[in-house]
Amino acid sequence: MSARTDFSRDKAFLIDMTKCTGCRGCQVACKQWNQLKAENTTFFTGEGYQNPPAMSEHTFTRIKFRDYQKNGQNEFAFYKEMCMHCNDPACASVCPVGAFQKTAEGPVVYLDDKCIGCRFCMIACPFGVPKYEWSKAFPLVRKCTGCYSRVQEGLKPACATTCPTAITYGPREEMIKEAERRLAAHPDRYLQKVYGKEEAGGTSVIYLTALPFDELGFKPVTMRALPSYTWQALRLVPGIFLTVGGTLSAVSWFQHRKEKVKQAETESKGAACCAAAEAAETSKEDHQ
Amino acid sequence: MTAARYVLHEIQSYHRFIKFLIFLVALAAVGSTIRFIFGLGATTNLNDTYPWGLWISFDVVTAVPLAAGAFTIGVVAHIFHIKKLEPLVRPAIVTGFLGYSLVCVGLMLDLGQPHRGIYVLFPWNWNVHSPMFEVSMCVMAYTTVLFLEFLHPVSERFGWHIPLRLLRNLQIPFAILAAMISTLHQSTLGTFFLIAVDKLHPLWYNPLLPLQFWLSAIFTGLSIVILEASLVHRFMGQPNESDLLATLTRIIPWVMGCYMMVKLVALLTFSEGALFDRPVLTTLFVVEVAVGLLLPFWMFLQSRIRTDKSMQLRAASLVIFGLVLNRFNVSMFGMIQPGQQIYAPNVLESVVTVGIIAAHILFFVLMAKYFPIFEHHPEAVDATIPDTFRRVGKEELKAIPVTVLPDP
Ligand code: SF4
Ligand code: SF4
Ligand code: SF4
């Protein structure tokens, strides 16, 4: 959970899928800037022309294709998969060593010299973004960095720079405003929803589409920030720790006290009787 | 040279079964070496869809509650002060210590950067929002506590008097500390899966998961004590403890009852989404509840079964089966999305996990062979040494053999 609550000035992507041509310039630009290897793939393994089949250690962003019919015409729809740079990122909250950080500028970055490789971040991310270097003996996690190094220098991310039509980059508040303006201006062209405004507690990647989001392969996600789900249990930890300790100490003290009182009573009844009781107890507890 | 020959000779004298265990452990060691040389991707069936597999599901998520015997019996015997259960405590502590040590081994095997495991301890990395952080800290702390408790028989074996006295004084504080730490990490293992909001199926996903993990760890811990005492009686010539175990079988149904209530409430009021939409998951759930929960619960309620030594063992085994299935349902089966490829561990993963289980049994048997884990020797403490730690005076020494009998 990040301490910040105001994300309006964070840098955000507004990705208007209705304006995407499927050129995949963004995919290539991402590979170039991050110096990622090409993947050896075969065509038509997935739906339509999409390639490679999934994001991976070598592919931080990818255009998914979807064929559909409109007025008897074959149409394409696209979805640009990438890290959503959540306001309150699940990946950062679960990492035991804090290797994921939400930066003040917006991108969620990964500090690879901290990571111990537990892969909890991969379980936690609701969008299935972090990928592992399965090809290596001592692997690290890889994911879209939001081109943090470029953003720090005042540049736009590589994909946003390359995209001829669909990606706008700027303060989150303005991106949401612009998205809502487009929805209002062309109600016929868009599904009336700004994806990323509330999803997973709000993200720095915001989508507009024409088709329903699930049909494009968007994952169903909760509207609550994910770290709040675990925190509602974890915040009780110190209290429970002390309660258990306190209760058991009290019980232990009480039980021993009871024992002592009993012992004192038996002793006062006389040594002979006590020896007899002891002998009886001994035989009772002789389990051998 | 002679030492090596002595060890070899000693090993040759072992029972066939122990030799077989050694073979399994050796096989797992070879498997682990291969894993470290070639990496996780090349040697396991893990991938981006299944970042966690058998090693997390069994070696960590399941093995931790299976090692809960030490803290539960510690609370019952030392805190609630049911002294007659004392003979069960020490074997349970040895089992717990072995269990947690092997959890650490399992975690190391699964980490992509095992040499950095220590980073979790550095304060500048601490992330209190991470359940994994909490569990790692707890597991390390608790393994240390168990190690100290385990030093007890070791000190007896070698006649270290001063540490023995210190440890004896610390017995109750340790039991309390063990319960505190265990409560945290047993429940936090459930918190792990609270982050998997839209991934874990609603049959298991609900905000009460941590509470359920904690409760089930308690009754499973006690069942493990039963299992262990019964097996040790059968195969290692130890006395029949079924009278003592009957005390435990009276406690277990209470905890199971609480657990079932929480599970029911969670299912009825806190679960969101369709519960019985996936036949395979429904079956797994039904088996978990019917065979691993309701049946042993019913069995433990029958006083005839509760006190019978072979029925105790059967009921306890069912409880353990139910727990294993539950942890796999939560950490693996329930996380599989419809239409997703299915993960199955490969040979190497399986060999390593089998080796870890074998190592547990092997080390237990060996420790029982060389250390006094089945009997206390209070008379071994030399009372003439000036006792700077007080408490264990001559009076107490006289008093102890009343509750725990030394070897005749
Ligand atoms: S560069 Fe822009 S138009 Fe081209 S595929 Fe990427 S998002 Fe679509
Ligand atoms: S999309 Fe996933 S990886 Fe990206 S910031 Fe959110 S939780 Fe982290
Ligand atoms: S794999 Fe690395 S980055 Fe991911 S949660 Fe574990 S330590 Fe953190």
Q: CA A87, A88, A93 angle in degrees (round to 5)?
A: 150
What 8-state DSSP symbol labels residue B141?
A: H
How far apart, in Å, do the first and last CA atoms of chain A sit? 57
Question: What is the best residue among A57, A93, A100 to mutate for testing ligand 3's pocket, by most ligand atoms within 8 Å of CB?
Answer: A100
Whose CA is closest to atom 3 on ligand 1? A20
Whose CA is closest to atom 2 on ligand 2? A125
Q: Residue B241's domain is classified under what CATH number?
A: 1.20.1630.10
Q: Residue B10 carries which side chain, given as an amino acid letter?
A: E
* pLDDT score recorded for residue A288: 38
Does residue A255 share a domain with residue A208? no
* pLDDT score recorded for residue A285: 46
pLDDT tens digits for range B75-115: 999 999 888 888 899 899 999 999 999 999 999 999 999 99
pTM of the entire predicted model = 0.89
Q: Is residue A1 part of a domain?
A: no
The pLDDT tens digits along chain A (288 residues) read 556 889 999 999 999 999 999 999 999 999 999 999 998 887 665 566 778 888 999 999 999 888 888 888 888 889 999 999 999 999 999 999 999 999 999 999 999 999 999 999 999 999 999 999 999 999 999 999 999 999 999 999 999 999 999 999 999 999 999 999 999 999 999 999 999 999 999 999 999 999 888 888 888 899 999 999 999 999 999 999 999 999 999 999 998 888 889 888 888 875 555 455 455 555 444 443
pLDDT tens digits for range B142-183: 999 999 999 888 888 888 888 888 888 888 999 999 999 999
Does residue A216 share a domain with residue A135? yes
Do the chains contact at A234 and B128, CB–CB below 8 Å? yes
Question: DSSP alpha helices (H): ranges in B193-241?
Answer: 209-235
Does residue A199 share a domain with residue A108? yes
Determine whether the shortest distance from the Cβ of A99 to ligand 3 is under 6 A.
Answer: yes
> With a CB-CB cutoff of 8 Å, which residues 13-42 of chain A face chain B?
none
* pLDDT score recorded for residue B34: 95
Give the number of domains in chain B: 1
Q: Is residue B294 part of a domain?
A: yes
Test mutation, A47, A86, A88, A120, chain B, max B CBs within 10 A:
A120
Q: Is residue B399 part of a domain?
A: no
Rounded Cα distance between A196 and B231, Å, is 57
Bond preceding residue B207 cis, omega within 30 of 0: no
With a CB cutoff of 8 Å and minimum separation 6, the contacts of A264 are: none
Using an 8 Å CB-CB cutoff, list chain A residues near B75: 248
Does residue A217 share a domain with residue A255? no
Q: Which of B377, B104, B188 is nearest to A237 (CA)?
A: B188
Q: Is residue B248 part of a domain?
A: yes
Question: Which residue, A189, A216, A234, sits at the end of a domain?
Answer: A234
Q: How far is the CA of A128 from the centre of ligand 2 (A)?
A: 8
* pLDDT score recorded for residue B376: 58
Determine whether the shortest distance from the Cβ of A121 to ligand 3 is under 6 A.
Answer: yes
> What three-state secondary structure class fits A81?
strand
Does residue A248 share a domain with residue A136? no
Is residue B226 a contact partner of residue B307, using CB atoms and an 8 Å limit? no
Using an 8 Å CB-CB cutoff, list chain B residues near A252: 78-79, 81, 172, 175-176
Does residue A243 share a domain with residue A227? no
Rounded Cα distance between B355 and B341, Å, is 27
Q: Is residue A3 part of a domain?
A: no
Do the chains contact at B120 and A116, CB–CB below 8 Å? yes
Q: How far is the CA of A17 from the centre of ligand 1 (A)?
A: 9
Higher pLDDT, B265 or B4: B265
**Residue A268 sits in which domain range?**
237-287
pLDDT above 90 as % of chain B: 68
* pLDDT score recorded for residue A286: 46
Q: Is residue A5 part of a domain?
A: no
Rounded Cα distance between A63 and A77, Å, is 10
pLDDT tens digits for range B181-224: 999 999 999 999 999 998 999 999 999 999 999 999 999 999 99
- The atom of ligand 3 lying closest to the CA of A120 is 5
Give the number of domains in chain A: 2
Strand-pairing partners, residue A81, are: A62
Using an 8 Å CB-CB cutoff, list chain A residues near B87: 287
Give this complex's ipTM: 0.88
Determine whether the shortest distance from the Cβ of A115 to ligand 3 is under 6 A.
Answer: yes
Q: Where does the pLDDT of residue B1 fall: very low under 50, low under 70, confident under 90, or very high at 90 and above? A: low
H and E: helices and strands count for chain B: 17, 0
> With a CB-CB cutoff of 8 Å, which residues 81-100 of chain A face chain B?
90, 93-98
Rounded Cα distance between A28 and A158, Å, is 9
Closest approach of chain A CAs to the CA of B315, in angstroms? 22
Does residue A152 share a domain with residue A131? yes
Does residue A273 share a domain with residue A155? no
Residue whose tokens read 């002294």: B83
> With a CB-CB cutoff of 8 Å, which residues 200-239 of chain A face chain B?
219-222, 224, 226-227, 229-234, 237
Question: DSSP alpha helices (H): ranges in B266-374?
Answer: 279-289, 295-301, 303-307, 309-331, 347-370
Strand-pairing partners, residue B399, are: none
Measured between CA atoms, the residue of chain A closest to residue B175 is A248
Q: Residue A51's domain is classified under what CATH number?
A: 3.30.70.20
pLDDT tens digits for range B339-396: 888 999 999 999 999 999 999 999 999 988 888 888 754 544 545 544 443 344 444 4
Does residue A129 share a domain with residue A26? yes
Question: Which residue, A212, A234, A256, sits at the end of a domain?
Answer: A234
Radius of gyration over alpha carbons of chain B, in Å?
22
Q: Is residue A43 part of a domain?
A: yes
Q: Is residue A85 part of a domain?
A: yes
* pLDDT score recorded for residue A66: 85
Radius of gyration over alpha carbons of chain A, in Å?
30
Q: What is the mean pLDDT of chain B?
A: 89
Do the chains contact at A118 and B112, CB–CB below 8 Å? yes
* pLDDT score recorded for residue B100: 95
**Residue B238 sits in which domain range?**
13-372
Determine whether the shortest distance from the Cβ of A100 to ligand 3 is under 6 A.
Answer: yes
Does residue A274 sit at the B interface (CB-CB below 8 Å)? no
Using an 8 Å CB-CB cutoff, list chain B residues near A54: 48
Q: Residue B393 carries which side chain, given as an amino acid letter?
A: G
Measured between CA atoms, the residue of chain B closest to residue A258 is B81
